[in-house]
């Protein structure tokens, strides 16, 4: 068995997991491959989930992960959590799954909930939530592990039958409320995650996952053939913990994004649209677009003539994904594995964070053979099943979601369009003029202060002094009279965000550049000239005679070394690791005509409070 999944939907029988597990326990895991990533997983449960140890171990192993799994005793979860010297804490888990079955909490009332009064039921819900959150708090104080808490399976039976939802605070409603409470409590907790076990059991069917016979014979709560599905859900938490989340989906075009072969069938012959044959492709694209929206990069890898493929992408009226959604495109007749390496390089990501989706089994095999670290998802024969196959990939999970994730896909594809455009421009001036740049300079305020601090910490190349400042330090400097400005640069391809910072100490006769930096995203676009021009202009208006700048060399800031010389500054001091330059304001620094500059003063009331 290969250890990277070839096909996501390949379903293994539970028996084969056991066979492999036995083999690994007898012969060890060393012989098959080198270093495995290690993870320690604790599972606390109120019942027996037989088989989970074997299957989870094998599923992890198939991903290149060596899992050490510890399973708490039958219904011992309270003791394990509440005693500091318990086996649980001695085990030092990285992840703790807590699976408490409703039956074990409700006891006899599980069978006859209406022997309780409405008041008792309300009290039960609040007590249960109190107990669970108390246990979790104790756990949080004693372990830094990520805690994955199962919610409760909402009962599918009520003795009240059709009148169940007429009962005040009925059984089913009370469990639903308990689940909602649980989600609410841990909404913004980044250590505790609620696993929607009710969704999981509904998806597979509550009738299916409960095997009554096995329950009576062995107190088995989840029928054995569904244990692999539960473990797959668990992997959705294990993979992001080990930073194994996938970042980019590389897609084939023909019979993947649309039905048919564009080079042969032509754009009009493609199956894509509101017909039974066309709809699966439209919906498949819509789901990809939703993944793009959560920060997953999309790329194209297709054997086609560029013109044919681009016509399909840009001109077909039913396409959901357009050129702007793709961070990279490799459309050629080269080997697809080679193209994936190029895409990863262009996007500056590792090949191991790529998912490759293709309908052609031979292509899938070839990519898998040459790049085993890529997750290859071979589409099923029937396009009707495409969306499901896509939804079954649990490799995009992360424990955090930021605004940067939302913007990522867009920024990458804009960058790609810029570089295509750069290749077509005949001269650098021609290129810069065509970019239609607009620079917005803003005084530091509560909205840009964190980005300004971040840039002083992250920027190494185009940074003349490399001085790092915290938000508090910046606020103090501003309050003492420094002019602190950020520069946002947009062009016809999109917004680059805030990419420049200048900090100027304003003296009576001299303005001193304490900091002058640009993000590497905009180096070589004359943004520095526009920014210097604006600063010197402001200095002149304020009545000073000169602007001074310093250059402090580091191992990385060579790209900014000639900044002052290029803009007509004179060198007035020079030591081994220090240069001081001056510019007299009689001679203006001319802003490039192709950058439109807007200056926004700090708005009234936008003053930041003194950090002292």
State the nearest-atom distance from the C-beta of 75 to another protein, in Å. Answer: 18
Please give, one letter per residue, the 3-state secondary structure of 42-111.
EEEECCECCCHHHHHHHHHHCCCEEEEEEECCCCCHHHHHHCCCCHHHHHCCCEEEEECCHHHHHHHHHC
1, 3, 15, 552: which one binds another protein (CB under 8 A): 15
Residues of span 84-113 touching another protein by CB under 8 A: none
With binding defined as CB under 8 A, does residue 14 bind another protein?
Answer: yes
> How many whole angstroms separate alpha carbon 434 and alpha carbon 521?
17
State the nearest-atom distance from the C-beta of 121 to another protein, in Å. Answer: 33
Which residues pair with residue 580 across a beta bridge? 550, 573
CA distances from 192 to 103, 237, 244, 416, 501 (A): 23, 11, 19, 38, 38
With binding defined as CB under 8 A, does residue 218 bind another protein?
Answer: yes
- The 222-251 site mask, x for binding another protein (CB under 8 A), equals -xxx--------------------------
State the nearest-atom distance from the C-beta of 73 to another protein, in Å. Answer: 16
Range in contact with another protein (rule: CB under 8 A) among 136-144, 219-227, 436-444, 521-529: 219-227
> How many whole angstroms separate alpha carbon 413 and alpha carbon 417?
6
Q: Is 440 helix (H, G, I), strand (E, B) or coil?
A: strand
11, 90, 166, 213: which one binds another protein (CB under 8 A): 213
- The 323-352 site mask, x for binding another protein (CB under 8 A), equals ------------------------------
Number of residues that bind another protein (CB under 8 A): 19
> How many whole angstroms separate alpha carbon 252 and alpha carbon 578?
54
Q: Closer CB to another protein, residue 19 or residue 380? A: 19
With binding defined as CB under 8 A, does residue 220 bind another protein?
Answer: yes
Range in contact with another protein (rule: CB under 8 A) among 209-217, 426-434, 563-571, 602-610: 209-217
Contact assessment for residue 527 and residue 492, using Cβ atoms and an 8 Å cutoff: no
With binding defined as CB under 8 A, does residue 450 bind another protein?
Answer: no
- What tokens appear for 69 in the block? 């799994």
Q: Closer CB to another protein, residue 217 or residue 508? A: 217
CA nearest to 138, candidates 78, 192, 82: 82
Q: Closer CB to another protein, residue 14 or residue 582? A: 14
Q: Closer CB to another protein, residue 214 or residue 387? A: 214
State the nearest-atom distance from the C-beta of 493 to another protein, in Å. Answer: 54
Range in contact with another protein (rule: CB under 8 A) among 159-167, 207-215, 415-423, 544-552: 207-215
Q: Closer CB to another protein, residue 219 or residue 471? A: 219
CA nearest to 139, candidates 91, 173, 106, 178: 91
Q: Closer CB to another protein, residue 18 or residue 193? A: 18
CA nearest to 251, candidates 287, 217, 293: 287
CA nearest to 102, candidates 155, 63, 58: 155
1, 3, 16, 468: which one binds another protein (CB under 8 A): 16
State the nearest-atom distance from the C-beta of 212 to another protein, in Å. Answer: 8
With binding defined as CB under 8 A, does residue 11 bind another protein?
Answer: no
Count the neighbouring beta carbons within 10 Å of the beta carbon of residue 428. 12
Q: Closer CB to another protein, residue 18 or residue 396? A: 18
With binding defined as CB under 8 A, does residue 211 bind another protein?
Answer: yes
With binding defined as CB under 8 A, does residue 210 bind another protein?
Answer: no
With binding defined as CB under 8 A, does residue 10 bind another protein?
Answer: no
Q: Closer CB to another protein, residue 73 or residue 568? A: 73
CA distances from 145 to 65, 123, 295, 526, 563 (A): 17, 31, 26, 49, 49
> How many whole angstroms separate alpha carbon 234 and alpha carbon 228?
10
Q: Closer CB to another protein, residue 16 or residue 419? A: 16
Region of 134 please: left (phi>0), alpha (psi -120 to 50) or beta: alpha
> How many whole angstroms separate alpha carbon 175 and alpha carbon 118?
14
7, 18, 460, 510: which one binds another protein (CB under 8 A): 18
* ∠ Cα 60 62 63 (to 5°): 65
- The 38-67 site mask, x for binding another protein (CB under 8 A), equals ------------xx----------------
Q: Closer CB to another protein, residue 232 or residue 471? A: 232
> How many whole angstroms separate alpha carbon 515 and alpha carbon 415?
27
* Alpha carbon 399 to its chain's center: 8
From first CA to last CA, the distance across the chain in angstroms is: 62
For residue 342, what is the enclosing H or E element? helix 336-347
With binding defined as CB under 8 A, does residue 420 bind another protein?
Answer: no
Q: Under the rule (CB under 8 A), what is the footprint of another protein?
A: 13-16, 18-19, 22, 50-51, 211, 213-214, 216-218, 220, 223-225
């Amino acid at each position: 068995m290969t250890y990277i999944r070839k096909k996501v939907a390949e379903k293994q029988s539970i028996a084969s997991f056991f066979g492999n597990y036995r083999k690994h326990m007898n012969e060890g895991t060393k012989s098959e491959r080198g270093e495995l990533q290690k993870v320690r997983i604790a599972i606390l449960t109120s019942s027996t989930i037989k088989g989970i140890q074997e299957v989870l171990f094998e599923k992890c192993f198939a991903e290149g992960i060596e899992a050490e799994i510890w399973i708490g005793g039958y219904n011992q979860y309270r003791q394990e959590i509440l005693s500091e010297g318990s086996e649980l804490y001695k085990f030092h888990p990285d992840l703790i799954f807590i699976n408490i079955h409703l039956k074990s909490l409700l006891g006899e009332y599980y069978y006859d909930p209406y022997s309780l009064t409405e008041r008792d039921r309300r009290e039960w819900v609040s007590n249960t939530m109190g107990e669970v959150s108390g246990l979790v708090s104790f756990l949080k104080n004693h372990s830094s592990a990520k805690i994955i808490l199962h919610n409760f399976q909402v009962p599918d039976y009520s003795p009240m039958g059709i009148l169940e939802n007429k009962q005040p605070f009925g059984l089913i409603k009370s469990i639903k409320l308990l689940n909602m409470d649980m989600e609410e409590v841990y909404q913004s907790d980044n250590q505790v995650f609620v696993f929607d076990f009710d969704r999981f059991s509904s998806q597979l069917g509550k009738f299916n996952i409960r095997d009554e016979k096995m329950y009576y014979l062995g107190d088995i709560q989840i029928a054995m053939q569904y244990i692999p599905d539960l473990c797959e859900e668990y992997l959705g938490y294990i993979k992001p913990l080990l930073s194994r989340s996938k970042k980019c989906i590389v897609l084939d075009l023909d019979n993947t994004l649309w039905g048919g072969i564009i080079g042969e069938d032509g754009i009009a012959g493609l199956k894509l649209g509101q017909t039974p044959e066309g709809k699966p492709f439209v919906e498949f694209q819509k789901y990809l677009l939703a993944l793009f929206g959560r920060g997953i990069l999309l790329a194209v890898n297709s054997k086609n003539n560029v013109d044919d493929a681009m016509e399909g992408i840009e001109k077909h009226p039913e396409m959901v994904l357009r050129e702007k959604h793709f961070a990279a495109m490799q459309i050629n007749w080269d080997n697809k594995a080679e193209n994936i390496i190029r895409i990863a390089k262009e996007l500056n990501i590792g090949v191991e964070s790529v998912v490759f989706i293709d309908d052609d089994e031979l292509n899938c095999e070839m990519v898998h053979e040459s790049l085993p670290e890529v997750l290859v998802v071979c589409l099923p024969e029937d396009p009707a099943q495409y969306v499901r196959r896509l939804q079954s990939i649990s490799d995009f999970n992360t424990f955090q979601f930021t605004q940067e994730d939302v913007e990522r896909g867009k920024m990458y594809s804009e960058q790609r369009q810029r570089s295509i455009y750069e290749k077509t421009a005949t001269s650098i001036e021609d290129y810069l003029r065509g970019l239609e740049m607009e620079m917005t300079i803003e005084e530091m305020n509560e909205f840009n202060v964190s980005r300004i601090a971040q840039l002083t910490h992250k920027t190494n190349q185009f940074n003349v002094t490399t001085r790092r400042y915290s938000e508090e330090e910046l606020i103090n400097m501003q309050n003492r009279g420094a002019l602190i400005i950020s520069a946002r640069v947009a062009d016809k391809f999109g917004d680059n965000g805030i990419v420049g910072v200048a900090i100027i100490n304003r003296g009576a006769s001299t303005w001193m550049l304490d900091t002058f930096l640009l993000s590497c995203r905009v180096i070589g676009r004359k943004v520095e000239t526009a920014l210097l021009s604006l600063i010197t202009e402001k200095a002149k208006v304020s009545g000073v005679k000169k602007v001074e700048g310093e250059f402090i060399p580091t191992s990385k800031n060579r790209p900014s070394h000639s900044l002052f010389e290029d803009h007509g500054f004179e060198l007035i001091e020079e030591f081994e690791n220090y240069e001081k330059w001056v510019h007299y304001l009689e001679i203006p620094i001319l802003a490039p005509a192709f950058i439109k500059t807007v200056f926004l003063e700090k708005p009234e009331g936008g003053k930041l409070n003194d950090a002292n």
